[in-house]
Amino acid sequence: MQIRSVAASDVEAVYRLLSANGWAHRIADAEYLGQLISASHTSVIAVANGEVVGFARAIIDGLSNGYLSMVVVAEPFRRRGIGQALVQHIVGSETSITWVLRAGRPEAAEFFAKLGFRTSSVAMERSRGQQRQQMHLERRLTAMVAASDPLMAALHAVRSLQLQSWCIGAGAVRSLVWDTLHGFDDRSPVEDMDVVYFDAKASPEHDAHLEEQLRSAMPNLCWEVTNQAGVHRWFADALGQVVAPLASLEEGVATWPEFATCVGVYLNGDGTLGVVAPHGLDDLFGLRVRHNPQRASAATYRERVQAKRFAERWPRLSIEAA
């Protein structure tokens, strides 16, 4: 194995490494990564048999302070000392520099403790704006949607219904993003199309009427249309449960079984795309599957994870137990 500085020709390989190991939500594209590397004081890679299997970067003044920003090792090469070698290559033996880092992942604190790092009682941070991060992820999502001809055709069909508050959500959006982040050439077929809208004045029969219109427009899809203003009636009739009526489309999307699935997209009259993501997009782009307990039981969540074959279809997912 070789540890060396990152060359311009390595950027694409480093981007693939980061995308495949949980950093897709932080690195927009290879161009952005190249800018990060150029702005860093030190960026190094680990190369094994011609393959980039590790990456680390740091910002340092060379005299007093250093910030270790990223340490990433490909899953098959972990626990072989590669991460330690990357850190030691950057930190070196210079004792006059105080190094800091953010150990945000569960296993990170233990790893860095072995390298001499200790939890600080004096450090403070001002994080990058959450709103800015979500705007960045929304732009990535809408770019993926705009590039999907089947999903765009479905969005045009639903827009023609002239609903006031609506979106296509759940599986169609989730599969598109996870297929893209996994780099699949063969994408999940767009078959089931979940359309949700909010209209407190619509009759219970209105959903079926809308489904009929959509089936006429695009009969190749399996359409399911649900008025979120009437979901409480479904809980009472189908499950015998009493739940409070929802107050908006966003409130309805926020109750779906997995946080990563609580996302929808819609098409505006001017052709621009909008996003409904009441819990944000971090789980979706971070390839994380977590139970949303607002209305779905833990048993329902576990059944969905198995029935939809999440782990089999998208092996890089991190699936949390419930």
pLDDT digit string (tens) for the chain, length 322 residues: 899 999 999 999 999 999 888 887 678 788 989 999 999 999 999 999 999 999 999 999 988 999 999 999 999 999 899 999 999 999 986 678 999 988 766 678 888 888 888 888 777 776 665 677 888 899 999 999 999 999 999 999 999 999 999 999 989 999 999 999 999 998 888 778 999 999 999 998 999 999 999 999 999 999 999 999 999 998 888 888 888 888 999 999 999 999 999 999 999 999 999 999 999 999 999 999 999 998 889 999 999 999 999 999 999 999 999 8
Round to whole Å and give the CA distance between 225 and 212: 10
Q: Which two tokens stand for residue 239?
A: 């499950």
Q: Is the CATH number of domain 130-319 3.40.50.720?
A: no
Q: How many CB atoms lie within 10 A of CB 244?
A: 8
Round to whole Å and give the CA distance between 225 and 210: 7
Round to whole Å and give the CA distance between 10 and 56: 13
Q: How many residues does the chain have?
A: 322
Q: Tell me the C-alpha to C-alpha distance, in Å, between residue 208 and each of 122, 283, 298.
A: 60, 32, 30
CATH 3.40.630.30 occupies which residues in the chain? 2-113
* CA 196 to centroid of chain Cα atoms: 21
Instruction: Point out which residues pair with 289 in neighbouring strands.
Output: 319
Which CATH fold topology does 2-113 show?
Aminopeptidase (3.40.630)
For CA atoms 125, 131, 132, 138, the dihedral sign is: positive
Round to whole Å and give the CA distance between 197 and 194: 10
One-letter amino acid at 151 equals L
Determine phi and psi for 278, rounding to 5 degrees.
-60, -25
